[in-house]
Amino acid sequence: MDENLWNTIDEYLTSSLLPEDASLDAALHASAEAGLPSINVAPNQGKLLHLLAKLRGARRILEVGTLGGYSTIWLARALPPTGQLISLEGNSDYAQVARANLERAGVSGVASIVVGAAAQTLAQFVADNVEPFDMIFLDADKKSYPEYLRLSLQLSRVGTLIVGDNVIRRGRIADHASSDPDVAGLHEFFRLLGSNPRLDSTAIQTVGTKGWDGFSMTLVTA
């Protein structure tokens, strides 16, 4: 496993296919300056989310886990002018940084951040009978993915696309005896994905600047 080569290839792909973007670069810089962990998606992964949202024709997107708003910007840019993105963040300091990043990127008109425990916010959305979302991006604490999935399904419609990030954990997902709460949560997450007849799912391993990880992709079919 040559991680230097992974990084080199990611840099080549990004420089070849993604034009320089001052707003996205500024979001990363502001996040680093504020001391946020550098766990945002890579640029080419952000562009993948952007393209998936466009392919889905998403008008309403739900993101669980904002951090500094980097992926939020990518997703928000895929929306039509009348679209809406709601991002959930448990850390109010992170949310403050993210809001400034969204404003600078010019997407604050379609993207908003709700601060609080994600499961509680999702449950409140269900209770309020909010309009279903066309795309849902899970990128928060992995131990809670099963609960996020259960609640997300109540906020979905036929055709909703659900993407779960960071599901390989440098291969630790293969350790079925793991005591790591995140790995255990992902095992239950995959069990739910595979056993629910309403869902059509796959998962992909990835390597690159974010190491060895991967994502799941699920289509709500019924």
Interval 97-155: pLDDT, tens: 999 999 999 999 999 999 999 999 999 999 999 999 999 999 999 999 999 999 999 99
Compute the mean pLDDT over every residue in the chain, rounded to the nearest whole number: 97
**Residue holding tokens 């707003």?**
23
pLDDT at 142: 97
Instruction: Tell how many helices (H) and how many strands (E) occur in the chain.
Output: 8, 7
pLDDT at 1: 66
84-89 and 156-165 strand pairing: unpaired
Rg (CA), the chain: 17
pLDDT in tens, 190-221: 999 999 999 999 999 999 999 999 999 999 99
Residues 14-40, mean pLDDT to the nearest whole number = 97
pLDDT band at 15 (very low <50, low <70, confident <90, very high): very high
pLDDT band at 2 (very low <50, low <70, confident <90, very high): confident
* 171 neighbors 212 (Cβ within 8 angstroms): yes
Domains of the chain, each with CATH number or no CATH: 3-220 (3.40.50.150)
pLDDT in tens, 49-104: 999 999 999 999 999 999 999 999 999 999 999 999 999 999 999 999 999 999 99
Sheet holding 133-138, edge to edge: 111-115, 84-89, 60-64, 133-138, 156-165, 211-220, 199-208
Q: What is the pTM of this model?
A: 0.97
pLDDT at 190: 98
Q: Which tokens belong to 118?
A: 């994600």
pLDDT at 195: 98
pLDDT at 41: 97
